[in-house]
A and B are shown apart, each in its own frame.
Chain A
Amino acid sequence: EVQLLESGGGLVQPGGSLRLSCAASGFTFGSYAMNWFRQAPGKGLEWVSAISESGGSTYYADSVKGRFTISRDNSKNTLYLQMSSLRAEDTAVFYCAKSRVTGITSVLSDYWGQGALVTVSS
Chain B
Amino acid sequence: ETVLTQSPGTLSLSPGERVTLSCRASQSLGRNFLAWYQQKPGQAPRLLIYGASSRATGIPDRFSGSGSGTDFTLTISRLEPEDFAMYYCQQYDISPGTFGQGTKLEIK
- List the interface of chain A (C-beta within 8 A of B): 44-47, 59, 61-62, 95, 100, 106-115
Task: From B44, B45, B92, give the contact of A106 (CB < 8 A).
Answer: B92
Count the A-B residue pairs with Cβ separation under 8 angstroms: how many?
52
Query: Is B12 an interface residue when CB atoms closer than 8 A count as contact?
Result: no
Per-position 1/0 for B43-61, Cβ under 8 A of A: 1111100100000110000
- List the interface of chain B (C-beta within 8 A of A): 33, 35, 37, 39, 43-47, 50, 56-57, 88, 90, 92, 95-102
Q: Report Cα–Cα, A114/B35, bound state, in Å.
A: 20
What B residues does A115 contact at CB under 8 A? 44
Are B44's CB and A44's CB within 8 A? Answer: no
| Shortest 3 CB-CB contacts between residues of A and residues of B | A107-B97, A112-B44, A45-B99
Q: Report Cα–Cα, A44/B102, bound state, in Å.
A: 7
Are B90's CB and A114's CB within 8 A? Answer: no
What B residues does A44 contact at CB under 8 A? 88, 99-102
Q: Report Cα–Cα, A109/B43, bound state, in Å.
A: 15
What B residues does A61 contact at CB under 8 A? 96
Are B98's CB and A108's CB within 8 A? Answer: no
Are B44's CB and A113's CB within 8 A? Answer: yes
Task: Give the residue among A100, A108, A112 with the most B Cβ atoms within 10 A.
Answer: A108
Q: Report Cα–Cα, A100/B99, bound state, in Å.
A: 17
Closest beta carbon of chain B to A108's beta carbon, Å: 5
What A residues does B47 contact at CB under 8 A? 100, 108-111
Q: Report Cα–Cα, A46/B97, bound state, in Å.
A: 9
Closest beta carbon of chain B to A44's beta carbon, Å: 5
What B residues does A59 contact at CB under 8 A? 95-96
What A residues does B45 contact at CB under 8 A? 45, 95, 112
Closest beta carbon of chain A to B8's beta carbon, Å: 15
Closest beta carbon of chain A to B58's beta carbon, Å: 10
